[in-house]
Amino acid sequence: MTLDSKKEPFHFNLLKKDAGSRARLGTLTTSHGQIKTPAFMPVGTQATVKSLLPETVRQLGADIILGNTYHLYLRPGHELIRKMGGLHEFMNWHHPILTDSGGFQIYSLGALRKLSEKGVVFRSHIDGSSHVMTPEYCIAIQHALGSDIMMCLDECLSYPASFDETEKSLELTVRWARRCKETKNSERNALFGIIQGGAWPRLRKRAVDDICDIGFDGYALGGLSVGEPKEIMYEMVEMTAPLCPEDKPRYLMGVGTPEDLLACTALGIDMFDCVMPTRNARNGMLFTNSGKIAIKNARYREDKAPLDEQCRCYTCRNYSRAYLRHLFIAREILAIVLNTIHNVSFYLTLMENIRKSIQEGVFEDFRRNFLKNIRKND
């Protein structure tokens, strides 16, 4: 896709709002192509969606994938990727890429990190070497990677966290966001601000006000799906999403199950990412329109049926449950490949059907029927 150089490379176009919910249909335009929203981004943490060729990911319906600043900084290094022509060229993916700032990964290091106003001092999980990540350096790394959408460096807290602890963390995240915005120096890269605030509605509202006051190309809800009960996550999304600017994309980070995607689309979210489809595939847990299947179960030993009669992915068109179980039990690499093809296809097809249902004005009917079917077995 070639864009007019005189136009803004990044643009969000809100096409339609659902009458029975807050679901939104839209498009995101970037310098590497267009993204149909609501969108799910397969996770390619280390410049690969695990076990899949980039061409396969595209054929399955992905408009955009996600990479990770923390991991790519440590290995192979952002300067090497810059020399290789940027992340798109390096991994042979010539479509949009969003790079997470790595804040969540640094948070996950626990005792191996130390926060200050300057940034984060942390030890690599690979070799124990010491590193410093500042908001400015985080943006510089993402500029080197050449991602279409960059994320601000933020502090993520686990659940539960006290009001005072969350407030202090939020204020640091806002100050870091301002420094990230000041560092951004290219119109070809969009920058999203991250709204924190834990499970405290008052702090979530303050975060929206403060982050939106800085002004970003899009807004992400962070600090969710970190151990809180599901109903609290939904409550935070429900009260936060409509406070964000209507003409900017809304991204819920690290979420989640098919049920989560439907619920949070209904609450006004436009973008999602999660490792669940790929990680579950490697563990033999497969999503279908009739509920989840643990493929190692003995009941599938002589099952000639495809994983999902409704699915048209390569795996379901060509292989039986019995064969997939055999591969998984035998620990064959092909098991991971075929399982991942199916799970990623399931997620991307779900998003395609969500978009179609919003366009046709039947989103709530689609959502109700989908949930009814997958809960039969679950």
Would strands 24-30 and 33-37 be described as parallel, antiparallel, or unpaired?
Answer: antiparallel
Is 308 tagged catalytic? no
Backbone angles phi and psi of 204, in degrees to 5:
-60, -45
**Residue 373 DSSP symbol:** H
Catalytic, out of 18, 63, 217, 273? 273
> Where does the chain show beta strands of DSSP type E?
11-17, 24-30, 33-37, 39-41, 65-68, 97-100, 113-115, 120-123, 130-133, 149-151, 190-195, 218-221, 250-252, 271-273, 285-286, 293-294
CA separation, residue 43 to residues 61, 64, 236, 279, 325 (Å): 14, 9, 24, 10, 25
Is 273 catalytic? The answer is: yes
Please give the full DSSP string across 154-200, using - where no structure is assigned: -----SS--HHHHHHHHHHHHHHHHHHHHH---TTSEEEEEE--TT-
Q: Please identify which residue in the block is written with the tokens 């399955």.
A: 60
**What is the spatial distance between Cα 262 and Cα 268, in angstroms, rounded to a whole number?**
10
Tokens of 111: 């005792």
User: Counting beta carbons within 10 angstroms of the beta carbon of residue 168, is it exposed (0 to 12), middle (13 to 18) or buried (19 or more)?
Assistant: middle
Catalytic residue among 18, 100, 148, 210: 100
Residues identified as active-site: 100, 273
